[in-house]
Structure 1
Amino acid sequence: MSKNKEFNVWFDHLPDDAKNKFKSSLNKAFNYEPKVAIFGKTGVGKSSLTNALFGKDACPVHDVEACTRDPKEVFMKLNGDSKGIKLLDVPGIGENNARDKEYFRLYSEILKEADMVLWVLKGDDRTFSSDEDFYKTCMKPYIERGKPFVVAVNQVDKIEPFREWNLNECKPGPTQEGNIAKKLIYVAKQFGDLPVSKVIDVSANERYNLNNLILKLVEDLPANKKFITIDNMDKIIQEHEEVKKEKSNAFITVVNEVIDTLPIPDVAKNVAKKVVEKVSDFVSSAWDTFKSWF
């Protein structure tokens, strides 16, 4: 008997009240739609990075005035067959002073609702003064209260010596890698007290290091939001072993938490947990089953 069938047999033998509670609790746990806010200056590649993370059609270009009028309208649902997440790709700062003042108010409203914040910089930019100003005056209070925040230094394949980029292996050469490391340290210092571990080097066009960006972005999220966020990532990213493991662990954590609430003997709970934790393919098959209940 496969382990997934073992779990189904366990579920089928539950009393009706326990079955109903299991379904309703899972529905409640996975019904929340995490909100990802993506900020940065115009031209740093926010949309290309967003599309690389969530899929080519995830981030159409939004009209600036519509975003300014009602920021909630730009939240969008991904993967129409599930609850998914809500993605927010906002207009970039740095167009002009009048726009920046407008966006400051817009960003403040968005930050109140966002579960996690991704700030995008361009790897070969020499200065980040406007980004630093927005971080210190607008974002830092939310970060200090625990809002997950990560800086993505995009287009690192353009950092000198850019001809050293290894096209076959899609990674920087040794000198370029050293310069990238220096850039991450510089960015962290520019943002004041931001840990360098929160600054991740990526290239959307080269699909470089996107898995590490995702792991850092979701690491402080509750298990249910972590799972849903990863579940809506581009399928290529989800195939990375670290991402796959993080997704599986988050899913199992939520399922076990639900099992703990059921009105059944502890021995029955322990049987279910052992089955769940032993099955490497449990996540994908069980998640498809669970979604049909919602």
Structure 2
Amino acid sequence: MLDQSTICAISTSPGMGAIAVIRLSGSEAIAIAGKSFRSPNKNKKLIEQAPNTLHFGQFTNQQEIIDEVVMALFKAPHSFTGEDIVEISCHGSTFIQQKILEVLIENGARMALPGEFTQRAFLNGKMDLSQAEAVADVIASSNAAAHKLAINQMRGGFSKEIGALREQLLHFTAMVELELDFSEEDVEFADRSELRSLTERIERLLRKLKNSFQLGNAIKNGIPVAIVGETNVGKSTLLNALLNEDKAIVSDIHGTTRDVIEDVVNIHGTAFRFFDTAGIRETSDHIETLGIERSYSKLEQATVVLLVVDTHNPYPLVKSRIDKIRERISPGQTLIIVANKIDSGLRDTIQQLEVLDLADNEKIVFIAARKKENLDELIDHMTHSVNIDTVEQDVIVTNARHYEILKHAHEAILRVLNGLDTGITGDFLSQDIRECLHYLSEITGEISNYEVLGHIFKNFCIGK
């Protein structure tokens, strides 16, 4: 799979800037860069210099000076790709960048494919596949929480969890298969009670990792927050206050919002994806009915549901609205009841809402959205509800490929548990354990094929 040619690409963002970095990797990287490098000390040859050093000079095309550059040398195996690497820092003119690339290609390099530097790092054993995929997530991270997840995975947090599982399973499958060689002697090398205990631990961990994808995917793409409630309770006013702009039309006319309005905002380092939905009420308007159906759909998809209620209404009516939405909330969702218009609401309604019995996944906050009163308290409830602190402590799955593989691995380990219950023979037991091992190995890349690698790395930027 490993192409031995020397590759080159621009590693900084496209366009013009103060400085650009052009990277080469391969056995001929230093020799190719050295053909066009002219040091102030005319006797200095790049190929003879020590690794991990910087060298100032001119980048030339024969006698033509293209730019003054700094060349950084990294020699195999102590580099990002595990090969010789040269990083050329030049001025950020797009003309200069392209000219240097042209000369490097004339000198014997070729243009890198998308993600090829990271792919070589994987193929040369500098990182496993899940760490390589995390490189793309680090580059794409747009908020502090997503960045923490990607850094943890790139540093091998996820890989360590998977590696520990594999080691334990490998030990037991070896013991089970050893029994097959001594089947006539009726010997048992693998303690079945110990195997059951291990299998149960692995099943719990695989289930936890698999279930963490919902949170991980939400953090990566923005925590989905559905703003729901009846018409004219202040949902659009609340969205505008949270976004600090007039995103949604605000009117005293009922049913103004007929479709879902969506926007993303970064709050305290976490991205929240807000959905302002159509007001929920009985209506004969076909278009408004479609909007209400979408409101319920977004409610089901949300991690956090902001149920906006109007404190101008009598408490029994408000309570019935809350109970109606409660019926649609799952244990994995957080319901924040937003009692709006407290600056002019009914005192009795507000007092009874203050003593409302709340479930573990429920909060209540009293606000005046038009005046932006108590918005900070609402934001605190939202950030605490998704438990961002677990990002630093737990391994959280963010990659859809990993999630699919973990589902298959979990199904395989459940078959192992079922086999232990029914007392199936060692050869069938071993087959299920090996299937689970196979899936775990696909995550880290210990078992992979070129088609899978091509699919993963084609989504990377060129130069990464």
TM (norm. structure 2) is 0.33
Larger radius of gyration: 2
Structure with the largest fraction of strand: 2
TM (norm. structure 1) is 0.49
Greater RCO, 1 or 2 (C-alpha within 8 Å, sep 6+): 1
